[in-house]
Amino acid sequence: MEIRNKYLKYWQEISASKEMIFLAGPRQSGKTTLAQNMIGTLFANVSYLNYDFIESKKIIKEDPYFFEKLDRKDRSLPLVIFDEIHKHDNWKNYLKGVYDKFHGQYQFLVSGSGRLDAFQKSGDSLAGRYFMFHLYPLTLGELGNSDLSPKSLLDDPLNVPPFRNEMWDLWDKIEKFSGFPEPFLRGDKLFFNRWHSTYSKQLLYEDIRNMSGIRKIDNLVSLFSILPSRVGSPVSINNLAMDIGTSFQTVNEWLMVFDKFFLTFSVSPWTSKISRAIKKEKKFYMMNPSIVEDKESRMENIVAIELLRAVQLWTDMGFGDFSLHFIRNKEKEEVDFLIAENNRPRLLVEVKSSETSPSRSLIKFQNYLDVPAIQLVLRKETARIIKNNNNKILVVSAPDWLGALP
């Protein structure tokens, strides 16, 4: 897929410094296509195995070092691709053995739709043997082909982006068909409806049930169906538990499962003390924003995915430890998003459909945190810089600013 050529460049930079790369992301976000595009472009010698195929499971069992039989085209380092290998019961020990025996002789790409980074902080035996890389559905920041670096953006986030009609066309496509490559490229509503129904059922009734051991699948589906209506507001797990008639603990576990399988993602409130943020209510967003019916909530969801993709990529590439939050006080005044680096605020982002005057909450929190602030609006060719004491706020067209995100 030509629109993902930029990611081939990122891969080349990362793989040059580590022999094993984990590529995590939602099912059907383009991981397999990206991996296959490496064949003949970055690597002449490639061995590919997809654990979803029955014959691949047989190969792993009978010939675990199958890639040694690769017929090479030249003397360059081969790439071994393990797709969906995390579905193998003993996958971590298998990869540890492969890496320890063959590192220096091969490079390894491990891709999966379950959250491969779920065990990163658990002292797993794979620690230190890989770098993590994430691939999300298509975003304006990716499609906009920005040449900015994260540092240049954060040093001057109030820089007015170029106005481009194509960014509005892309916004409309993402709003209608999501950023998942297949429905996005098709651009057909009937196809999108069929795709979404099949996609959700496959994840809920097959992947999640098979890999998580959850048996009350109907209640799980009910919970998932409620979440699009809660986008944009901090979510009370107690209220969700009452809505579907189950316990707080069960709902909390199921929400983590949705995040693990990239059906949703959560955004935590920012606080100077991380332990306090853990205890507070989070916001939940859909990885497919097109299923959010309320237009303003859908806009916020699209922006959330754009910012998530950006901060995750910046972290993966080694530019810093970035995270995405929202900020809210006891008076329930709130700013939709805050980008932090090492838990230090760097940028406030508010989402408004058409209001060109900065929100009172944005003004208040900017004065408190003393950081740059952006208000994104769905108005064409809008770029107003408004003074706020010693700071400034940029009110700007959302598709154009997001299209310039590195």
Q: Tens digits of per-residue pLDDT, 202-228? A: 888 887 877 666 777 888 999 999 999
Q: What is the pLDDT of residue 81?
A: 92
The helix (H) or strand (E) run that includes residue 387 is strand 383-388
Question: Residues 325-332: what's their mean pLDDT?
Answer: 92
The residue with greater pLDDT, 332 or 375, is: 375
Burial 277-316 (b: 16+ CB within 10 A, else e): beeeebbbbbbbbbbbeeeebbbbbbbbbbbbbbbbbbbb
Q: Is residue 68 within 8 Å of 81, Cβ to Cβ?
A: no
pLDDT above 50: residue 121: no
State residue 238's pLDDT score: 93
Distance between CA atoms of residues 222 and 229, nearest Å: 12
Question: What pLDDT does 219 receive?
Answer: 87
Higher pLDDT, 108 or 123: 108
At residue 273, φ and ψ (nearest 5 deg) are -110, 115
Cβ atoms of 81 and 49 within 8 Å: the answer is yes
More confident residue, 347 or 277: 347
Tokens of 363: 């003004």
What is the pairing mode between strands 131-134 and 20-24? parallel
> Which whole number is the average pLDDT over 137-147?
90
**Rounded distance between C-alpha atoms, residue 109 and residue 222, angstroms:** 36
CB of 378 within 8 A of CB of 327? no
Q: List the one residue out of 83, 92, 87, 65 whose CA is nearest residue 23.
A: 83
* pLDDT number for residue 116: 67
pLDDT in tens, 233-269: 999 999 999 999 899 999 999 999 899 889 999 999 9
Query: Which fold does the domain 2-134 belong to in CATH?
Result: Rossmann fold (3.40.50)
- The pLDDT score that the predictor gives to residue 122 is 46
User: Residue 212: what pLDDT?
Assistant: 66
pLDDT reading at 327 higher than 90: yes
Closest CA to 359 of 330, 307, 395, 306: 395
273 pLDDT above the threshold of 90: no
Note whether 253 and 275 are within 8 A (CB).
no
Q: Confidence class of residue 124 from pLDDT cuts 50, 70 and 90?
A: low
For residue 201, the tally of other CB atoms under 10 A from its CB is: 11
**Closest to 347 measured CA to CA, from 318, 325, 319:** 325
The phi, psi pair for 222, rounded to 5°, reads: -60, -45
Cβ(137)–Cβ(29) below 8 Å? yes
Average pLDDT of span 321-344: 95
* Residue extents of the structural domains in the chain: 2-134, 140-403
Can you give the pLDDT at residue 380?
95
Q: Quote the percentage of the chain above a pLDDT of 90.
A: 64
Tens-place pLDDT, residues 382-396: 999 999 999 999 999
pLDDT at 294: 96
**Mean pLDDT score of the chain, rounded to an integer?**
89
Confidence of residue 376 (pLDDT cuts 50, 70, 90): very high
Sorting pLDDT into bands at 50, 70 and 90, what band is 365?
Answer: very high
pLDDT given at position 189: 95
Strands 107-112 and 79-83: parallel
Structure tokens at 17: 């410094």
pLDDT digits (tens, 9 = 90+) for 282-307: 999 999 999 999 999 999 999 999 99
pLDDT over 90 (residue 41): no
How much is the pLDDT for 300? 98
3-state secondary structure (DSSP) of residue 136: coil
